[in-house]
Structure 1
Amino acid sequence: MAWKRVQPKIDPNSQSVIDPYSHWALGPGLQDFRLPSVEEQSVPVLLRRKTEAWDEKAWALWRNAAEDPDMPERPPRDAEPFDVRFLSLTKTRRLIEDRKFHRFFETLERFTLGPPLPSSSVVPHGYKKARPLQSPSPGVTQDTVIIGIIDDGIPFAHERFRKADGTTRVEYVWVQHGTADNVPVDFDNGFEIPKVDIDNLLATCRQGDFIDEDEIYRRAGVADFTLDGRRSLAWRASHGAHVMDLACGWDPAKAPDWRIICVQLPTAITADSSGASLAPYAVKALEYIRDRAWAIAGPGQSLPVVVNFSYGLLAGPHDGTHAIELDFDDILREHNAIPGNKPMRVVIPSGNSHLARAHATVQFQAAGSHATLPLRMLPDDLTPSFVEIWLPPAAVAGNRVELTIATPQGDVSPPLEENDSHFLRYEVGGKALCEARYHFFPAPTGRGMFLISLQPTMRLESEKSPVPNDPVAPAGLWNLTLKNLGLSSHEPIEAWVQRDDAPVGYPRRGRQAYFDVPSYEVYGHDGRPLEEDDPGYPVKRAGSINAIATGRDTIVIGGLMRKELRPPAYSAGGPVTAPAGATSPHRSGPDALTVSDDSLVQSGVLAAGTRSGSVIAMNGTSVAAPLITRWIARELADGRPGNREAVWKLAGGKELNLPPSKPSPERGGAGRAPLPPVRPGKIER
């Protein structure tokens, strides 16, 4: 067993553009990246250009790589600054490794992979089996608002999303996985369920006078047990059901004209949060909601739109330049800048990682000094783990920091330098258990990052493998040591462990790794979790905000306990890192706080389960965000802007009548806004 330095096979220019997770996913982590027991798989590729217009030679190379005859021969002038295409694993590797695509990568800012789908979920190139766009329901008025939901387990047949006449308020559902039979117009994967089909299912799937929602979901292909994959709607509760009720659920007799557009993310995205990017799917989801909102409004018209995206990551630049943040901001700015367009807003939670010990800050006082971050890898972890160590921007290229890694057995790596063209690999029996590489993200990020990738600490071997033979990383402490060669005391290094926990309703596969520094105190003398940091400790609760919640144009919401009027211990906040070239960050933390728990002892808030009449409690900043989404929908319906400034004003106004225990701006933004519960208080818990 030994560490070794490895020279990458690919072109250095391409390497600087390709998301570093891709090298692990297509290399030592391939067996965890691929879908199990699926022969043909397609990988979504999200790319972002440097320039406003496509370079013609780069477009030709991209068209050649995609092998899609539906792509025009010449680059479209009105193309988005980003693009998403599905490629086979073989084509993806060829695109990355073949030097003939050098010119293509020269024109890119970012190249990101997402987890694969079965090829049966993707339209074959040259064969657009997409149905014509179904006409939306008529009768759009000045009170009509579009609410978009991007989530998992979307209960589109639920009574809380129907009108008084029994028809649905859900205009469109895009299921991003599943057989590609009714692919949405202008998209490449999954299938679409329009309002006309939902109304038909509501009318025909009945047992006497009662609507059979199980039959509806089975016929629609989202809860069919004859098909592979997880069926979130077959369970009592789902994340999407709860969030959707809080954002736009109503008693049918009282429902306003809020039209709903839903996107069901692939279950592989929701099930595995350990580093594979959800960016391609999330960006296309927001595009879909925007496009369908335009279709509902009609030619030359516009409707106000508010979208709830209650997902989060732990690791990232935290400066507003994550791939999702950049593309979301582009979509919002482009839409809102068109004269005559009514506002479009996106709401995101601040995250639940305040106590996760997944964030550390290192500041050196002198050259030659060292700092060690002990990474605790837990046993029984069935998924890969990742750590990102972000360096401050550099005025000139050079080596300011060195990283060495010691395994739990004491094997110490050679140093990995800033701007190092090699990467480190730890092998046992010829199998890679860990890799560490330096990656520089070009503008607008303009910063370097060390990425440490680790195999799972346990695997479930097949019956045909009596002797375990798949690579497994040892559990225990992996010591990550940073040596200062040229950083000043005013240039902090930020480190984050990537999210690796189980979402609501999913079986636990990952176990969250964390920084296990002995000096970090978890509990106070009263036995309660400590929520404030000691300035002398490198592991920080502050700065643990959701890595996709630091954009400029999205609205970010943290949690609040209704009775105690303070944030729950898990609600994460800033500070946010200043972008390269800026003297200060563009936000300090979330925009505001609203209710995520009824009280310290009554965790969560009440909202819908997956079936009509059911109510469950669920907590987290993911259930605070849709309350603000609901409030924004009312603002938009009344012709008010419903933007970040409006949320600040709401919180500031509410604070005037609350006890003087307002959280800091980094933790609580503009303040606390305890909005009323969506479900009536007569429901006892």
Structure 2
Amino acid sequence: MNATVSSGHDFDGDLPLACDLYLQWAIETDYVDVPNARIDQDATTSVGLLIEWKTQQAASDAAELVHALVIHVPSVYLGGSRSAGVGKIRRVWALTVPTAKLPDFLRRAGRLATRIELAMPMAEGKLGAENVKARLSRSPVLAAVLDDGCAFANDRFRDGMGTRILWLWNQDPEARGAPLIAGRGPTPQANFGYGGQYSKGDLDDLFDTADGRQDQAYQGAGLAGMRRRATHGAHVMDLLTNTEAPWPSGADPWEIVFVQFPRGGVEDPSGIWLKRHALDGLNYALACAGSDTRTVVANISWGPQTGPHDGNSALEVGIEELVQAQADLDPPRKLIISLPAGNSYGTQSHARVDYADGGSFDWHVPPDGELPAFIELWWPKGVLPGAAALRITAPGKASVAIEPGKNAAPDKSWWARLKKIGDCVKVLVVVRPTYAPGPSGRMPGQHGRWHFEIAPTPSGIDGSVHAYVARANHNMGARRRAKASYLCDAALQASRFVAPASREEEALDSAIRRVGTLNGLATGASTYVAAGYVSGEFEIARYSSAGPTRGMALKPDFACLTDRSQARPGLRATGSRTGTTAVLVGTSTAAPQLGRMLVMGPPPVEYTPSPPRPERVGAGCLGAQPWLLRKE
């Protein structure tokens, strides 16, 4: 039986200024439409948060606060961990707060935090066996794959000593495996408290118990997604760690840590869930590194279309903190994080309107969507909330001015708020699921054309207002419950009738832009971002997202092979079982290639497009590994 998570909030006045708009939306709407907020009725409900504290002292004060409120925070964020630097409390935490304690926690934490962001609401897990055969990595290079679908029984990831998977953490709350509590994992600090984990010894025991039958081994580990012939995680892991590719002289194939994203997250394309699970996953992988491990290469082939796109999201700040913490170790350790550029170049998911001149565009929300539709708007730095002039016209309704404070629609079918987040003004608009009336008499969201108008504001402040639509295309192997919304205007409509050779270019005078579409997680200073190109003439992949961003990141770092030809898109790599292969399309295949090349040495640029397109391919196209070009 399912029950909706209730916020149980009792706030006097508004939420603290540090609270992000997604958290505000969730609390004000009692979590009715938050993806994956429906959980078992008998479970203890909690809310996942990602928090950036203002200063190191504020983080220390927060540590005292969570101790007083008896709120569990993983030890990696509180100091005493190799990955954090002994005794150093982090400034970015991922934690879970019981809903009953959330109001008091937010009131008291709000004065200490720069931002408090919503992650996935969750329940305490139903954990199984506790027989963990612990071991840290002895490999100079440790590969971390944060993805969906760990093919630990596939011969591609096995050698004479068994599986190369050193640790597997399944983040699903009801996952099988040992609990992540103190003393039950790679280190006592990896006490994240949810999901289930298996060490290399445990996985080898599962394989031996199944007499080498891969289906039974996956079933024994509780990996239901491995029933599929191919998984995103197996494909990416093959591209990152494949033993067919050349290895440095005398080096052994890398050991692997696999972080299995939760099922609810894989089925939610909004990106809300990713923040907490990605940061926890990176910390878990680093906890698995031994004293001989000098490099950790982590691949995250996921990412949202939304976010500030300036490198200052809480997750990106947390990643920067992790990279620096590894560099500060004695001896130092290098952390390489490879990310895809994204596949949104042609999805009409980004608009840009000059702040001084103003402009307008339409947001098309389709019918029969089972999840909410989200769009974010970000104003230039220096703009005050009162100077962010926005009007929204819902299909068949009168226009509404979005101003600081509450702007609830009369029929509760949509939600919009304007708020200053960090240095910028942000507006979040959420349209309820459009497929049917919701619970508690709430109206379904209105499908159709939503009109956004930004008034001219000649204030001397340069810059643009950027709009980003949350992605709604389903992830590989997930149920498709969302419907993709998109942006349009008259100028873009007119560009549909140009010659085919010009259809990849920007539409003249349109607010809808192909540039500026980089993965919302790929705008930080220390991550590496891979775009995609087509084999042969090194043509840029049509879907590969482009810079510049709203921050310092102007382009991807490099482009890697993602398509054999325009007629044969995608790359072939291993499936779930030994001897099987599958084709995966997208820049998810470029990111692991780039990560591998960065470990092996400086990548050689084989080709630079003419004319140069750095916003699409960065420094240029890297040569493909020979095994990727083999005949099929």
Query: How high is the TM-score relative to the length of structure 1?
Result: 0.82
C-alpha distance in 1, partners of 2:98/2:586? 37
Which of these residues, 299, 309, 323, is aligned with residue 300 of structure 2?
309
C-alpha distance in 2, partners of 1:14/1:58? 18
Contact in 1 for aligned 2:51/2:116 (Cα 8 Å) = yes
C-alpha distance in 2, partners of 1:303/1:35? 40
Aligned to 2:410, the other structure's residue is in SS state strand
2:400 paired with 1:423 = no
Evaluate the alpha carbon distance shift between residue 122 and residue 357 of structure 1 in structure 2; reply closer, same or farther with a 3 A threshold: farther
Aligned to 1:334, the other structure's residue is in SS state helix
Evaluate the alpha carbon distance shift between residue 131 and residue 439 of structure 1 in structure 2; reply closer, same or farther with a 3 A threshold: farther
| 2:188 match | none
C-alpha distance in 2, partners of 1:528/1:69? 54
Q: CA deviation at 1:470?
A: 4.9
| 2:4 match | none
Superposed, 1:137-148 pairs within 5 Å as 140=138, 144-148=140-144
Superposed, 1:598-613 pairs within 5 Å as 598-613=564-579
2:595 paired with 1:590 = no
Q: CA deviation at 1:456?
A: 1.1
Which of these residues, 610, 613, 617, is aligned with residue 661 of structure 1?
610
Evaluate the alpha carbon distance shift between residue 32 and residue 549 of structure 1 in structure 2; reply closer, same or farther with a 3 A threshold: same
Query: How high is the TM-score relative to the length of structure 2?
Result: 0.88
| 2:539 match | 566
Q: CA deviation at 1:9?
A: 8.0
Post-superposition CA distance 1:200-221 (Å, at most 9, x none): 2222312xxxx21111111112
C-alpha distance in 1, partners of 2:60/2:301? 38
Question: Structure 1 stretch 497-506 or stretch 349-358: which is displaced more?
Answer: 497-506
| 1:271 match | 267
Superposed, 1:527-542 pairs within 5 Å as 527=500, 530-542=503-515
Post-superposition CA distance 1:516-560 (Å, at most 9, x none): 212105646444672221352111001011011010000000011
Which of these residues, 536, 539, 551, is aligned with residue 524 of structure 2?
551
| 2:395 match | 408
Post-superposition CA distance 1:470-515 (Å, at most 9, x none): 5311110111121234444732111111112211122221111111
Superposed, 1:88-237 pairs within 5 Å as 88-96=98-106, 99=107, 101=108, 104-121=109-126, 134-136=134-136, 140=138, 144-163=140-159, 165=160, 167-177=162-172, 178-179=174-175, 182-184=178-180, 185=185, 186-206=191-211, 211-223=212-224, 232-237=225-230
C-alpha distance in 2, partners of 1:52/1:281? 23
Aligned to 1:519, the other structure's residue is in SS state helix
Q: CA deviation at 1:117?
A: 2.8
Question: Structure 1 stretch 482-491 or stretch 37-46: which is displaced more?
Answer: 482-491
Q: What letter is aligned with 2:286? A: R
Q: CA deviation at 1:335?
A: 0.4
Contact in 2 for aligned 1:156/1:170 (Cα 8 Å) = yes
| 1:3 match | none
C-alpha distance in 2, partners of 1:425/1:190? 37
| 1:439 match | 419
- Structure 1, unaligned runs of 5 or more: 1-7, 124-128, 224-231, 579-584, 636-645
2:84 paired with 1:84 = no
Which of these residues, 288, 294, 304, is aligned with residue 292 of structure 1?
288
Q: CA deviation at 1:348?
A: 0.3
Q: CA deviation at 1:53?
A: 3.1
C-alpha distance in 2, partners of 1:253/1:166? 20
Aligned to 1:387, the other structure's residue is in SS state strand
Q: What letter is aligned with 1:108? A: A
Aligned to 1:63, the other structure's residue is in SS state helix
2:394 paired with 1:388 = no
Evaluate the alpha carbon distance shift between residue 87 and residue 365 of structure 1 in structure 2; reply closer, same or farther with a 3 A threshold: closer
Post-superposition CA distance 1:593-651 (Å, at most 9, x none): 0111111000100001111111011110011111112223333xxxxxxxxxx35xx22
| 1:479 match | 451
Q: Please, what is the CA RMSD of the aligned residues?
A: 2.9
Q: CA deviation at 1:222?
A: 1.6
Q: CA deviation at 1:423?
A: 1.9
Evaluate the alpha carbon distance shift between residue 105 and residue 116 of structure 1 in structure 2; reply closer, same or farther with a 3 A threshold: same
Contact in 2 for aligned 1:380/1:457 (Cα 8 Å) = yes
Q: What letter is aligned with 2:168? A: V
Contact in 2 for aligned 1:56/1:75 (Cα 8 Å) = no
Contact in 2 for aligned 1:335/1:341 (Cα 8 Å) = yes
Contact in 1 for aligned 2:355/2:457 (Cα 8 Å) = no
C-alpha distance in 2, partners of 1:131/1:48? 35
Evaluate the alpha carbon distance shift between residue 482 and residue 331 of structure 1 in structure 2; reply closer, same or farther with a 3 A threshold: same
Question: Structure 1 stretch 385-394 or stretch 515-524: which is displaced more?
Answer: 515-524
C-alpha distance in 2, partners of 1:130/1:86? 22
Post-superposition CA distance 1:440-461 (Å, at most 9, x none): 122xxx1111111110111498
C-alpha distance in 1, partners of 2:13/2:297? 41
Q: CA deviation at 1:181?
A: 5.3
Aligned to 1:147, the other structure's residue is in SS state strand
Contact in 1 for aligned 2:74/2:192 (Cα 8 Å) = no
C-alpha distance in 2, partners of 1:497/1:11? 32
Contact in 1 for aligned 2:31/2:37 (Cα 8 Å) = no
Contact in 1 for aligned 2:353/2:360 (Cα 8 Å) = no
| 1:582 match | none
| 2:624 match | 675
- Structure 2, unaligned runs of 5 or more: 1-8, 81-86, 186-190
Q: CA deviation at 1:266?
A: 0.6
| 1:399 match | 386
Q: What letter is aligned with 1:117? A: M
| Percent of residue pairs identical | 26
2:237 paired with 1:244 = yes
C-alpha distance in 1, partners of 2:271/2:244? 39
| 1:638 match | none
Aligned to 2:339, the other structure's residue is in SS state strand
Which of these residues, 298, 309, 318, is aligned with residue 327 of structure 1?
318
Which of these residues, 626, 630, 640, is aligned with residue 592 of structure 2?
626
C-alpha distance in 2, partners of 1:398/1:383? 29
| 1:503 match | 475
2:442 paired with 1:454 = no
Evaluate the alpha carbon distance shift between residue 393 and residue 527 of structure 1 in structure 2; reply closer, same or farther with a 3 A threshold: same
Aligned to 2:455, the other structure's residue is in SS state strand
Contact in 2 for aligned 1:275/1:386 (Cα 8 Å) = no
Contact in 2 for aligned 1:66/1:85 (Cα 8 Å) = no
Q: What letter is aligned with 1:516? A: C
C-alpha distance in 1, partners of 2:597/2:277? 26
Q: What letter is aligned with 2:241? A: C
Q: What letter is aligned with 2:228? A: W
Evaluate the alpha carbon distance shift between residue 18 and residue 527 of structure 1 in structure 2; reply closer, same or farther with a 3 A threshold: same
C-alpha distance in 2, partners of 1:150/1:196? 21
C-alpha distance in 1, partners of 2:112/2:37? 31
| 2:255 match | 259
Aligned to 2:540, the other structure's residue is in SS state coil
Contact in 2 for aligned 1:560/1:674 (Cα 8 Å) = no
Q: How many residues align?
A: 600
